[in-house]
Amino acid sequence: MKSILLALTLLVVVSSALGRMPGSQDEPQGAKQDVKDAGQDTKQAAKKTGSAVEKSTRKAAHDTSHAAKKTESAVQNGTDTAAHDTAHAAKKTGSAVENTTKKITHKSAREVKKGADEVERKTTPQ
């Protein structure tokens, strides 16, 4: 009887030890679960990376659009200023040409009158 009791005790101890060994069916956290957890972690990391890329892309597109609008505004202002300056320069040049033409015309008229008076003085008997 003692040997049967010893055999039963030994059987209970061995079966208990086998039940706690890694890879057994009863173990809740095994290699399979580790693989599942790693897959979840990878999935979450991919989502976070995708979100970060999307956010960065949207920001870059917004910044590019803003820079383009700012450049367009600067070009428009530069064009307006250049057009205004050109019109002012043309008006100023026109006035200068007109004044110079008047001066030349008056000087020519004086010289012609002076020449005519000289011719008349020389041709008139004294």
More confident of the two residues 28 and 74: 74
pLDDT above 90 coverage of the chain, percent: 33
On the question of pLDDT at 52 being above 80, the answer is yes
How far is residue 119's CA from residue 42's CA, in Å, rounded to a whole number? 112
The residue-averaged pLDDT of 34-58 equals 91
CA-nearest of 37, 16, 40 to 28 is 37
CA-nearest of 28, 7, 31 to 19 is 28
Contact 19, 26 (CB under 8 A): yes
On the question of pLDDT at 7 being above 80, the answer is no
Residue 121 is predicted with a pLDDT of: 83
- Banded pLDDT at 54 (limits 50, 70, 90): very high
Give the up-direction half-sphere exposure of residue 124: CA atoms within 13 A in the CB hemisphere: 7
What token pair was written down for 93?
A: 């040049």
DSSP codes joined into one string, 80-121: HHHHHHHHHHHHHHHHHHHHHHHHHHHHHHHHHHHHHHHHHH
Mean pLDDT lowest for which of 8-17, 44-53, 80-89? 8-17
* pLDDT mean across residues, the chain: 82
- Banded pLDDT at 31 (limits 50, 70, 90): confident
Residue 66 is predicted with a pLDDT of: 93
Q: How many CB atoms lie within 10 A of CB 30?
A: 14
Residue 64 is predicted with a pLDDT of: 94
